[in-house]
């Protein structure tokens, strides 16, 4: 199949970027989008041109580094699919494909399709952990957790931190990301020790990073490659308001 690529090229964080057109022929429908970009880069290098810079690591839908904005959608047209899992058979022969980086103030473009997502890391560093001293590995059944709660916590823990929720939101909100990270701890006994401190610090850091507010358009849930539900945002809000009420009571 033959396609025409419109790819965002930007030399560095200070440079002004623009779309550049690349006709690409003999693309296998079985290639992933990342393999297709590898194929393009091989041709660019052979011509002496600079290859397109993009992030990738596992190429198995696990690491979350490969996030690209493809034809107006985070990770492309397929739901519950990361960019590395998206294959060229999802597109038509002769199609024009627009590929660009995430667009958010908190995700500044570093080069071409690569953005700086360290803002997510700073949110996690503030309180996204459990610091109780567990000693040696405890007996698995010493802290009973119901199957329903365990499954729900795992549903939140599958977040790969790719940033699709931010890219999908018209306000560039990181609420779904923060909610997933908060919920995975808030729902289990081990995470309740620091629950109120955790939600307060992580929400404060999220705001400090410049992410927008949530206006409940559900775009984040729709475009999340792991299908994380906005129900976790409601849970985070309850945790946040609970922490504020407790602080007022102790004043």
For 36-47, the pLDDT digits (tens) are 999 999 999 999
Beta bridge partners of residue 8, listed in sequence order: 19
Confidence of residue 174 (pLDDT cuts 50, 70, 90): very high
pTM of the entire predicted model? 0.91
CA distances from 221 to 84, 111, 166, 172 (A): 19, 28, 11, 13
Domains of the chain: 3-110 (3.10.20.30), 118-133+142-249 (1.10.1060.10)
Q: Tell the burial category of 172 from Cβ atoms under 10 Å away from its Cβ (0-12, 13-18, 19+).
A: buried
Q: Report d(CA 67, CA 76) in Å as an integer.
A: 9
- Model confidence over 64-96: pLDDT tens digits? 999 999 999 999 999 999 999 999 999 999 999
Beta bridge partners of residue 7, listed in sequence order: 20, 99
């Amino acid at each position: 199949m033959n396609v025409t690529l419109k790819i965002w090229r930007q030399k560095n964080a200070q440079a002004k970027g623009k779309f550049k057109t690349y006709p690409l022929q003999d693309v296998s429908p079985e290639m992933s989008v990342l393999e297709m970009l590898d194929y393009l880069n091989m041709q660019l290098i052979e011509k002496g041109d600079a290859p397109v810079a993009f992030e990738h690591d596992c190429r198995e839908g696990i690491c979350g580094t490969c996030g690209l904005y493809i034809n107006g959608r985070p990770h492309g047209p397929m739901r519950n699919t990361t960019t590395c899992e998206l294959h060229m058979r999802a597109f038509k022969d002769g199609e024009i494909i627009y590929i660009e980086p995430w667009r958010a103030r908190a995700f500044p473009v570093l080069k071409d399709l690569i953005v700086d997502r360290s803002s997510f890391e700073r949110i996690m560093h503030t309180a996204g952990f459990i610091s109780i001293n567990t000693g040696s590995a405890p007996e698995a059944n010493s802290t009973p957790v119901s199957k329903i709660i365990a499954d729900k916590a795992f549903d939140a823990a599958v977040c790969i931190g790719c940033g699709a929720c931010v890219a999908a939101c018209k306000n560039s909100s990181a609420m779904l990301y923060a909610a997933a990270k908060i919920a995975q701890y808030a729902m289990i006994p081990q995470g309740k020790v620091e629950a109120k401190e955790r939600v307060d610090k992580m929400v404060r850091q999220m705001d400090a990073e410049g992410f927008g507010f949530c206006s409940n358009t559900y775009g984040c849930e729709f475009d999340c490659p792991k299908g994380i539900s906005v129900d976790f945002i409601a849970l985070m809000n309850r945790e946040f308001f609970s922490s504020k009420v407790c602080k007022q009571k102790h004043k």
